[in-house]
Structure 1
Amino acid sequence: MRMKNVVSVVVPCYNEQRCLADCLQSIARQSVKALEVIVVDNNSTDNSVEIAKKFGAIVVNEKKQGIFYARNRGFNAAKGKIIARIDADSVADVDWIKSITETMRDRNLVAIGGISYTYELRWLLPLAIAVHAIFNRFHEKRLYGLTVLYGFNMAVRKNVWKNLEQQLDENCINEDIDFSMQVQKHGKVLRSSRMIVGNRLAGIMNPIKLIRYWKADGESAKRIKKELGS
């Protein structure tokens, strides 16, 4: 039986011409097709928009700079019952959408995250996934067990997003952690080992991003501890 297309894929984009085609190609090759692919142009000055249109993606514009605003613009434009997000420099496994659709058949789930690997090490996939799994365990332990739904590989129900959007803090240093904290107030979340994407080494090892995430983790840990009352 053919699986129904219910997933809208959202790709925030700012000057991603070097890697956007690989991302969109991986979505085009899915074993279960997306209902739609939405690329959110966040003031790109390169050829990102032209590349997105070449792949038949819906291009929407967000003039307010920042991933928080680009994500929200894309999620609000989505028509699917499930909204999946992937970063422009990531590559989805061929069964990525299939795994999202099947996992979200559990009506108790409001959102899910997946696992990742370093794309350049895809020839050694088990090791690449293991490295990221170790990072995830360390990260979540630092955040008092919070299941973090990373923006490069996550999905949320559209009806949940409608209620969630107003609860998100545009001034939060790390929008992924804020999203994860708030969405878990709406119901069950989990990380699926079947939902796999590859992340490029350049993005993972970017020193500016690493410093930003480390700072954000410290602030987020304080916030979580306060909410837990400990």
Structure 2
Amino acid sequence: MTDPDVSIIIPHRNQVRQLQSCLGRLIELGYDCHDIIVVDNGSTDSLDFISDYPVQLLHADKTASPYIARNLGIDSTENNIIALLDVNALVEPGWMESALELLNPDTILGGLPHRPDPRSLDAYQRFDYLYAVIDPEEDHPIAALPATNLFFYKSLWTAIGPFREVRSLGDIEWTKRANESGYQLLVDPDVQFKYPFKSGKAFTKKYRRLGGGKAENRSVPAPFWYVFKNLLPPSPHFVRRMHHKNIREKMGLSLIQVIALCYWVKLNYGIGATRYWILKTAPSHDG
């Protein structure tokens, strides 16, 4: 039996099919006994179907940012425990029960995506899985967590402050801020969900967006050096870490593919950051 004092918060923007699947899965597993809050972030698609689901619908239309939506959802609830869930995540049985066994007021807990079958993925998707998913077997402490699937107490969010209202990487900045303030970051492999990994143009777009997020969150102290170093080939350490994980996870990428995709990620981080700085410094034509 899970604690009823939980709010599941799902930011959404023009992903109707994914939202229907996400909500259907939560209901199928009985999690509709909790508060489910969908925060729409300026969709142009119709949301008339939402009345068919036992959820609360909020609107965060100020600007396109999932962190604005998450802040609004968290602020709107009086429940003690927050579960953040991406719209394209499909939770597995025992998802919440496993999380609540480990969660305490001083902890932020993340889940892990279900290991996909590499036979159903192309090289981009396999590498996206290897690079994007936290590796619980690495021996260094976790310094930040993505908001794809997070559990924490609302009191922690109040103490740390809200997410920065940015387009990308606001979750990394927020969890890093929490960690630096003494809160513990954990990942539990039993808090599991299915998640789609990016292919082709979507892969490239993702890593350019994340490069822009690094610039937007001011995590790049020297812009010129950041761009320059991302033009350089990937370091042996980066390649070795990805290839070791590739072998362990049996993703089937060749060493040449791993090297090429490590380089492609770096280049797109640099391109994304450069785009952000160009747009930020461009003169405004308003008025």
TM-score per shorter chain, which class? Answer: 0.7 to 0.9
Aligned position for 1:73: 72
Q: Within 5 Å, give how 1:166-185 maps onto structure 2.
A: 166=162, 168-171=163-166, 173-184=168-179, 185=181
Q: Within 5 Å, give how 1:6-17 maps onto structure 2.
A: 6-17=5-16
> Structure 2, unaligned stretches of length 5 or more?
222-287
Deviations 1:187-209 (A, max 9, x none): 22211111111112358944212
Distance 1:31 1:123, change over 3 A: farther
Aligned position for 2:196: 200
Aligned position for 1:62: 60
Secondary structure of the corresponding residue to residue 161 of structure 2: helix
Aligned position for 2:159: 163
Aligned position for 1:44: 43
Q: Is the 8 A contact 1:112 1:191 kept in 2?
A: yes
Query: In percent, how many aligned pairs have the same letter?
Result: 19
AA aligned to 1:94 is P
Q: Is the 8 A contact 1:5 1:32 kept in 2?
A: no
Aligned position for 1:102: 101
* Alpha-carbon distance, 1:3 to partner: 3.2
Deviations 1:107-160 (A, max 9, x none): 3642111111366x4998xxx99984664458xx8xx85433211111111111
Cα distance in 1 for residues equivalent to 2:74 and 2:105:
21
Cα distance in 1 for residues equivalent to 2:118 and 2:155:
35
Aligned position for 2:109: 112
* Alpha-carbon distance, 1:181 to partner: 0.8
Deviations 1:7-66 (A, max 9, x none): 21000011111211110111112355552000001111113x333331111001112121
Distance 1:145 1:5, change over 3 A: same
**TM-score, reference length from structure 2:** 0.62
Aligned position for 2:145: 149
Q: Is the 8 A contact 1:30 1:94 kept in 2?
A: yes
Report which structure shows greater RCO (CA 8 Å, sep ≥6).
Answer: 1
Q: Which structure features the higher share of strand residues? A: 1
Q: Is the 8 A contact 2:111 2:187 kept in 1?
A: yes
Distance 1:186 1:32, change over 3 A: farther
Secondary structure of the corresponding residue to residue 173 of structure 2: helix
> Structure 1, unaligned stretches of length 5 or more?
224-230
Secondary structure of the corresponding residue to residue 18 of structure 1: helix
Structure number, greater radius of gyration = 2
Cα distance in 2 for residues equivalent to 1:70 and 1:18:
19
Secondary structure of the corresponding residue to residue 114 of structure 2: strand
Deviations 1:48-99 (A, max 9, x none): x333331111001112121121111111112321101111111111211111
* Alpha-carbon distance, 1:214 to partner: 4.0
Of residues 181, 187, 191 in structure 2, which corresponds to 1:191?
Answer: 187
Distance 1:98 1:34, change over 3 A: farther
Cα distance in 2 for residues equivalent to 1:28 and 1:91:
11
Cα distance in 2 for residues equivalent to 1:89 and 1:13:
9
* Alpha-carbon distance, 1:170 to partner: 3.1
